[in-house]
Chain A
Amino acid sequence: MRLQLGPAKPATPVREVLHSAALALLLIPATAKAQSAPTDRIDFSSLLYGEQSRTQVIEPMVRFTHLLPDGQSISAQLGIDVITGASPSGALPSGSVQTRTSASGRVITSPAGRIPLAPFRDHRIAFDGEWQKPWSRYVTSTLGGTYSREKDYQSLGLNGKFSTDLMRKLLTVTVGGGISRDTVFPVGGTPLGLSDGSIVHRGSNDKNVTNVILGASRILSRRWMVSINGTQTFERGYLTEPYKVISLMNLATGQPAGELTDKRPSTRNRSSVLFSSVYHLTDDVIYTSYRYYWDTWSVRSHTIDLKYRHALGGDTFLEPLVRYYQQTAADFFTIGLPQGAPLPDFATSDYRLGALRTITVGGTFGFHPEDIPGEWTIRAQFIRQAGNSSPPGAIGIQRNFDLSPPINTFAVVLGYSFDY
């Protein structure tokens, strides 16, 4: 074969087309690769929660996230809680067996000297949606909506956040807020507070929650980031727990002589400040945080959280965790009210508003199997919660009982994430 090379001819439209076609063929693999980058993600988690002799919860959740080419993302999450078991009614132990019937008609018997429990069964369905949009290289907004419904409670909420990067992206400032319009409609009607429970109204009760957040995070070095978040929450409306009771105590013997319903103020302002730090060692990462919380019910709390992510190679890691929590009692918390004495404006015996401590130990194991796509995590936690077993207000027979026995809880969360 003989080739004759002549002088270059001016490009014709046909040549331009062929040239463009050849270039396009060369670019197809790169373009196809870019187009095949994951744009969707599915996260799945399932909680198995069990308190010793009390509440059991199963909570599966699934979250779908779609990434748009311009950096926006849209996500939707569905969660279902199935809750069964029993929780402390608020009543004091007695020297004899106590029997209690729940609002739904279930009966539970509490042995002598034990905290009476109230049985319950409920399920909750929750739906969350979120839209995140970057407005520029430095500004991002997030808008979300929430809806949840259970047998006696409904919540509808909106929330939003606005973040901006400053100082060459060394500092990020976030401002956000949320509102929630909740409705409480207790099974069997709403009892009058601090009554024997016989007076009820059948309507629903409103509870409005407004929440604001101001936060800042700062890169301090190549390995270290810290942040401060302050939140303020305003709750207005029906904040009482309709199923909890308060025992009337016989002043001479301490024996329960009757029960009154719970009654709490209709306003509560909550504040919290959270300090967080993330530090990268050679391969491992240390997470630490401290939160101080206070509210207008006189509850103060300290929470310390520590996690250590130990890299095991590839995407596999082991992350032990420890959490310590301590709170003071609400100013209207009481173990019981003296029989015959004038009633206070507000009172509760709900142990969650008493002085208590929670200690959590556990760990997360994360791995990425070669044969199966996606990331897996398993988190197991042991939670021990204890209050004041012998509070100063105990009189008579109550001094012989453990009025706040420790609650041991085991919780396992299985998580799975898959990009496609």
Chain B
Amino acid sequence: MTRTGRQICRLIFPLALLLIAGCATVQPWDRDLLAQKQMSFNPSPMLQAVDEHIYFSKEASMGGMDAGGGGCGCN
């Protein structure tokens, strides 16, 4: 494994443990705030898509939220 790969693993494992272990249990009747539309990682998919298209055309990076393929000859 490369040095960068090892660094990423060191970063991911504690966070993955946090995701699985987590903190206190949140009961279904306590999820009123979580059920709101704005409590989403991507509350405005179209605006997000526009932003990703802009940055994909201007920068060398891509990836993050979705499992899309290519789709643009702009970069």
Binding site for B on A (CB under 8 A): 43, 45, 47, 49, 59, 61, 63, 83, 124, 126, 146, 148, 150, 152-153, 155, 157-161, 167-171, 176-180, 182, 184, 207, 209-213, 216-223, 225-231, 233, 235, 270-276, 278, 280, 285, 287, 289, 291-295, 297, 299-301, 303, 309, 317, 325, 327, 330, 352-353, 356, 358, 364, 377, 379, 381, 383, 385, 407, 409, 411, 413, 415
Q: Are A275 and B61 in contact (CB under 8 A)?
A: no
Query: How many residues of B are in contact with the other chain, CB < 8 A?
Result: 51
Q: Are B70 and A157 in contact (CB under 8 A)?
A: yes
Q: Are A358 and B22 in contact (CB under 8 A)?
A: no
Bound state CA distance, A292 and B23, in angstroms?
A: 25
- A-chain residues with CB within 8 Å of residue B33 when the two chains form the complex: 222-223, 280
Q: Are B16 and A160 in contact (CB under 8 A)?
A: no
- A-chain residues with CB within 8 Å of residue B1 when the two chains form the complex: none
Given contacts A153-B73, A273-B8, A216 and B59 within 8 Å (CB-CB): no
24 examples of A-B residue contacts, CB within 8 angstroms = A59-B50, A61-B49, A146-B68, A146-B71, A170-B25, A180-B68, A182-B71, A211-B68, A211-B69, A212-B67, A216-B20, A218-B18, A221-B26, A226-B19, A227-B41, A228-B19, A230-B12, A273-B8, A285-B39, A294-B8, A299-B60, A301-B59, A364-B44, A364-B47
- A-chain residues with CB within 8 Å of residue B49 when the two chains form the complex: 61
Q: Are A358 and B58 in contact (CB under 8 A)?
A: yes
Q: Are A385 and B63 in contact (CB under 8 A)?
A: no
Q: Are B20 and A211 in contact (CB under 8 A)?
A: no
- A-chain residues with CB within 8 Å of residue B36 when the two chains form the complex: 280
With both beta carbons as reference points, the residue of chain A lying nearest to B62 in the complex is identified as A270
Bound state CA distance, A221 and B70, in angstroms?
A: 36
Q: Are A218 and B22 in contact (CB under 8 A)?
A: yes
Instruction: Kindly provide the distance from the CB of B24 to the nearest chain A CB, expressed in whole angstroms.
Output: 7
Binding site for A on B (CB under 8 A): 4, 8, 11-12, 15-16, 18-20, 22-26, 28, 30-31, 33-34, 36, 38-41, 44, 46-47, 49-51, 53-55, 58-75
Instruction: Kindly provide the distance from the CB of A277 to the nearest chain B CB, expressed in whole angstroms.
Output: 9
- A-chain residues with CB within 8 Å of residue B72 when the two chains form the complex: 124, 148, 153, 155
User: DSSP class of B's interface residues: helix, strand, loop or mixed?
Assistant: loop
Q: Are B38 and A233 in contact (CB under 8 A)?
A: no
Q: Are B25 and A274 in contact (CB under 8 A)?
A: no
The 4 closest A-B pairs by CB, nearest first: A180-B69, A153-B73, A272-B63, A176-B67
Given contacts A148-B71, A217-B41, A327 and B19 within 8 Å (CB-CB): no
